[in-house]
Amino acid sequence: MTFKDFGLKDELQKAIDSAGFKEPSPIQEKAIPIILNKKDIVGQAHTGTGKTAAFGLPILNMMENKKGVQAVIIVPTRELAMQVSEELFRFGKFLNINTATVYGGQSYSRQLKHVDNAGIIVATPGRFIDLLKTGQIKINPKFVVLDEADEMLDMGFLDDIKKIFKFLPNIEQTLLFSATMPQAIKTLAKNILKDPEFITLTQKNITNENISQVFYVVDEYERDDALIRLYDYKNPDKSIIFCRTKKEVDRLSTYLVAQGYFAKGLHGDMEQRQREEVIKSFKKGDLEVLVATDVAARGLDVNDVTHVFNYHLPFDSESYVHRIGRTGRAGKAGMAVSIVTPHEFRMIQKIQKSTGSKLEAKVVPNIDLVKKMKTKSLVDKIKNQKTLDQALEIVELLKEDYDVSTIAYKLASILANSADVKGNNFIGKSQNDIARLYERVQHMKDDGGHNRYGSHKRRNERNRSNNSSRRRNSNSGNSSRPTSRNQRSDGQKRR
C-alpha cells in the first residue's frame, strides 16, 4: 500500500510527498488506521521503524483548525524531543501547525513563548511536570503520546508520567509506544489507556530489511586500525560510530580528526548548546562522522546516514537495534558494520537470535583491495568531472613544457596520493579463524556450557593442530594470507 491509501488531508499528503515517503513501514501500516478510528493503542516497535510518522500523521490529520495545544508527545530525552518536534513540524507545515519543545537546559521564557503559538508540544517528563505544577502551562490537549515508554521507565520517569496525566483530565486518545513490554509498562497502559488495541511487530520486522549487517573479528589492539581500514574501503558519505562510554567518544573523535576526518563527538556530558550545534552540523553535512554514545544518539533522525559503525558492540540486542536504526531510513539502503573481538563472538550470535537478522562475517580488506577500490573511485570521479575553464588554462600553461601524456600522468599522480593506504597489510582474523570461532561456540553449546575441562581439552587439541598446520604452511611458502597474527612478519606491527 501507499500513504495515499490512508485518505489523509491534501496538505498532509503534500508534506509526505515532499519528504519522499512512498510506502508506509509495518508500524505505520498497522497503527495509522487504528488511530484514525480514534482508538487508544499500545505499539511495540523499536527506534527506526517509523513510529513518529505512525502517530504524528493521524494526529495531525485529526487536529482542528484552531489555536491552542491539542497534542502532547512525551519522550525520554532532549535529543529525541528535538527530532520528533522537527519531524512533526515538517509534516504539519502545510497545515500551519507549529510545534514547541519543552525540556531541561533551556530558558523557561523562550520555551513558554513557543508553547503560546503551538498546536503540539513535544516534552521530556521532568521539565513538563515542572511547568504544569507551577501553573506556567495550562493546556487541555485531546491527544497524548508516550514515546519510548520503556526508556522513560529506565530513566526513573514513571512517577512523573503518572502526575502529568492528573493535569490533563480531558484526553480523548492516548497512544503508547515501547520497544519492550515489561510488567511496569503493561500496568501503566492499563491505568491510563481506554480499551487499547495492541500492535506488536513480529521478530522478522525488528530490524530494517534495507540495512546490510556485517561484522569483522579483530584483536582488541586492532580496533582503531580496523576502523580506519574499513572507512578507507567503504568510503561512507555520512556515518555514525557508536561507543560505549563518553571517554571513548572523546578519544576516538580526537583520533579520527588527527587522521584527517571531519568528525565530532556527541555525549551526555556536553553542554546542550554544544550538542545542538553538533547535531545541526551533522544534518547539514558539515560533519561526515559522528561519534556518539547510545543515549546521546537515541532518536537521532537523519535520513542520509549511509553507515553505522559499532566500535564496540552494545551490551544488549535492543541497543543494537536502536543503533543500526540510524541508517536505512526513509526507504534508503544502509549498512551496519560491527568490530568485534573473539571474546564478543557469542554476543554476535545472541543478537542474531534475538533480532532474527543475519550478520555476515567478513575479513578486513588488505591494502591491495583498498587501493583497487580507491583507484576505481578516482577513475569514476574523473569520468564524471565537468571541465572547468581554469583547468584548461592550467593545461595550456603545462603544455609549454610537457606533452599531453606527461601532463596526464602528473595530474593522475597527484590524485593517486589520496589512494595511499596506511597500516598493516592484514588486520583482524581470516575466514579460517572465524570458522574456528563458530566451531568453538558450537562445541560449548553441545556441552551445555558446563563441561569446562572438555572445552579446554578440545581447544588445546585444536591449537596444537592449528600450530602444526601453520608451520607446514610457512615452510611450504604457499600461504597467501596469514591466518593469525602469530604468522605475520615483524614488519606488520601496529602503527
Say how many C-beta atoms besides its own lie within 10 A of residue 455's C-beta: 16
Q: Are residues 50 and 197 in the same domain?
A: yes
Q: Maximum Cα–Cα distance for the chain, whole Å? A: 85
Chain centre to alpha carbon of residue 218: 22
Work out the pLDDT band at 418, boundaries 50, 70, 90.
low
DSSP state of 73: E
Reported as a single tens digit per residue, the pLDDT across 273-306 is 888 899 889 988 899 999 999 876 666 778 789 9
CA–CA separation, 297 and 154 (whole Å): 17
Beta-ladder partners of 292: 242, 266
447 pLDDT higher than 70 = no
How high does pLDDT run on average in the chain?
Answer: 83
Model pLDDT, residue 487: 39
Work out the pLDDT band at 423, boundaries 50, 70, 90.
confident
Alpha helices in 139-215 (DSSP H): 149-154, 158-166, 183-192
More confident residue, 25 or 140: 140
Last-in-domain residue among 183, 201, 219: 201
Q: The C-alpha cell of 455 is what? A: 572445552
Q: Are residues 308 and 443 in the same domain?
A: no
**What is the CATH classification number for the domain harbouring 301?**
3.40.50.300
Beta-ladder partners of 86: none
Is 254 a domain residue? yes
Q: Are residues 333 and 277 in the same domain?
A: yes
Rounded to 5°, the CA angle 277-280-283 comes to: 150
Is 495 a domain residue? no
Work out the pLDDT band at 455, boundaries 50, 70, 90.
very low
| CB-based contact 426:481 (threshold 8 Å) | yes
Q: Above pLDDT 70, what percent of the chain?
A: 85
Lowest mean pLDDT of 66-70, 126-130, 177-181, 471-475, name the range.
Answer: 471-475
| CB-based contact 84:57 (threshold 8 Å) | no
Is 438 a domain residue? yes
Closest to 342 (Cα-Cα) out of 428, 456, 231, 457: 428
Span 338-350, average pLDDT: 87
Model pLDDT, residue 476: 38
409 pLDDT higher than 50 = yes
Beta-ladder partners of 334: 211
Q: The C-alpha cell of 129 is what? A: 511536570
29 pLDDT higher than 90 = yes
Is 314 a domain residue? yes
Q: Are residues 159 and 305 in the same domain?
A: no
Model pLDDT, residue 150: 85
Reported as a single tens digit per residue, the pLDDT across 355-384 is 778 899 999 998 888 888 878 878 888 888
CA–CA separation, 271 and 80 (whole Å): 16
Reported as a single tens digit per residue, the pLDDT across 55-95 is 999 999 999 988 999 999 999 988 789 889 988 998 999 99
Is 206 a domain residue? no
Pick left, alpha or beta for residue 432 (phi over 0 → left; psi -120 to 50 → alpha; otherwise beta): alpha
Beta-ladder partners of 240: 290, 308
Is 290 a domain residue? yes
Model pLDDT, residue 370: 82
Sign, CA torsion 171/151/247/213: negative
Q: Above pLDDT 90, what percent of the chain?
A: 42
| CB-based contact 179:45 (threshold 8 Å) | yes
Model pLDDT, residue 451: 42
CA–CA separation, 220 and 45 (whole Å): 34
Q: Are residues 225 and 324 in the same domain?
A: yes
Q: Are residues 282 and 383 in the same domain?
A: no
Work out the pLDDT band at 456, boundaries 50, 70, 90.
very low
Query: Distance of CA 107 to CAs 72, 111, 193, 368, Å?
Result: 20, 7, 33, 55
Q: The C-alpha cell of 113 is what? A: 513563548
Is 493 a domain residue? no
Q: Are residues 99 and 128 in the same domain?
A: yes
| CB-based contact 72:96 (threshold 8 Å) | no
Work out the pLDDT band at 468, boundaries 50, 70, 90.
very low
Is 133 a domain residue? yes
Beta-ladder partners of 280: none
Work out the pLDDT band at 481, boundaries 50, 70, 90.
very low
The β-bridge relationship of strands 120-123 and 197-200 is unpaired
More confident residue, 414 or 3: 3
Span 108-119, average pLDDT: 92
CA atoms within 13 A on the CB side of 398: 16
Alpha helices in 220-344 (DSSP H): 223-234, 246-258, 272-284, 294-297, 317-324
Q: Are residues 289 and 322 in the same domain?
A: yes
DSSP state of 490: T
Work out the pLDDT band at 419, boundaries 50, 70, 90.
low
Question: Domain residues for 411?
Answer: 368-419
Domain count, the chain: 4
Q: Are residues 225 and 356 in the same domain?
A: yes
Model pLDDT, residue 317: 74
Query: Distance of CA 13 to CAs 3, 89, 237, 301, Å?
Result: 8, 14, 30, 20
Closest to 294 (Cα-Cα) out of 176, 154, 429: 154
Q: Are residues 228 and 298 in the same domain?
A: yes
Closest to 331 (Cα-Cα) out of 438, 210, 172: 210
Reported as a single tens digit per residue, the pLDDT across 208-228 is 678 899 999 999 999 999 999
Q: Are residues 141 and 81 in the same domain?
A: yes
Span 125-133, average pLDDT: 94
315 pLDDT higher than 80 = no
Residues in the chain: 495
Model pLDDT, residue 450: 44
Q: Are residues 64 and 182 in the same domain?
A: yes
When computed from its CA atoms, the radius of gyration of the chain, rounded to whole angstroms, is 27
Beta-ladder partners of 216: 339, 362
Work out the pLDDT band at 349, boundaries 50, 70, 90.
confident
